[in-house]
Amino acid sequence: MMPSTKLQVSVIICTLNEAENLPHVLPRIPGWVDEVIIVDGRSTDGTIQLAERLCPRARILMQPGRGKGNALRYGISQASSEIVVTLDADGEMDPALIGAFVDALRAGYDFAKGSRLASGKPSRMSSFRYLGNRILTLAFNLLYSTKFTDVCSGYNAFWREAFLRIPLTYDGFHMDQQLLARAMKSGLRIIEVPHHSEGRIAGRSKTIGLKQGVIDLWVLVRERLCA
């Protein structure tokens, strides 16, 4: 779906050994997207070569550090568009919905936050991971007086300028939690955008189950208690 008014849009995808999933992602990015940036964490499975074939217009950047947070911050700093959409490389998200995220920003919001769980558990998501996501979301809602249904989706959109004003300090996956918490505390207007998901198509998640959940929860509490 193309947004009703044309705006410059960059799509950022962070990759690390996602060759199996890229055929389900890159060819489905709408042609009206102005810029596709792939930030690669030095993949060893042919991810870069495949990305070049599937999406010749993409800018492929080598991640300067380690961790998803580091990759996202770097990609967004290199983007040239006023709107940035972040999309995971695991095939879990439908790129055809990018227009809905862009339209949410056009409607006056600063941050369009994706939700995979608004309509229940994705079929390929384990019950353990689903429960962990629900617990984190409940904790966030209690701490920040919100009504989100998913605080862990990597499908997001924001005005680039607004993102760059938020001080972010984490390099790992928990940067997603810090971003949402600090966006709330900064007074950004945030809307949740449901998106269909059946879970990761192939390969294993880069997060480490229980350990990552505990870290994410710690970040949420710390961010709420600190000024």
pLDDT tens, 144-166? Answer: 999 999 998 999 999 999 999 99
Inter-residue contact 180 to 140 (CB < 8 Å): yes
User: Is the model's pLDDT at 2 over the cut of 90?
Assistant: no
Q: DSSP of 80-142, one letter per residue?
A: -SSEEEEEESSS-S-GGGHHHHHHHHHTT-SEEEEES-TTS--TTS-HHHHHHHHHHHHHHHH
- Looking at residue 6, the DSSP 8-state letter turns out to be -
pLDDT-derived band at 127 (thresholds 50, 70, 90) equals confident
pLDDT value at residue 8: 95
What distances in angstroms separate CA 5 from CA 78, 98, 219, 226, one per listed residue? Answer: 24, 13, 37, 40
User: Is the model's pLDDT at 4 over the cut of 60?
Assistant: no
The reported pTM is 0.90
Query: Mean pLDDT for the chain?
Result: 91
Report the b/e string of 52-73 with b at 16+ CB within 10 A. Answer: eeebeebebbebeeebbbbbbb
Inter-residue contact 186 to 146 (CB < 8 Å): no
Classified as helix, coil or strand, 162 is helix
pLDDT value at residue 126: 84
% of residues, the chain, pLDDT over 70:
93
- Looking at residue 37, the DSSP 8-state letter turns out to be E
Length reported for the chain: 227
Inter-residue contact 40 to 60 (CB < 8 Å): yes
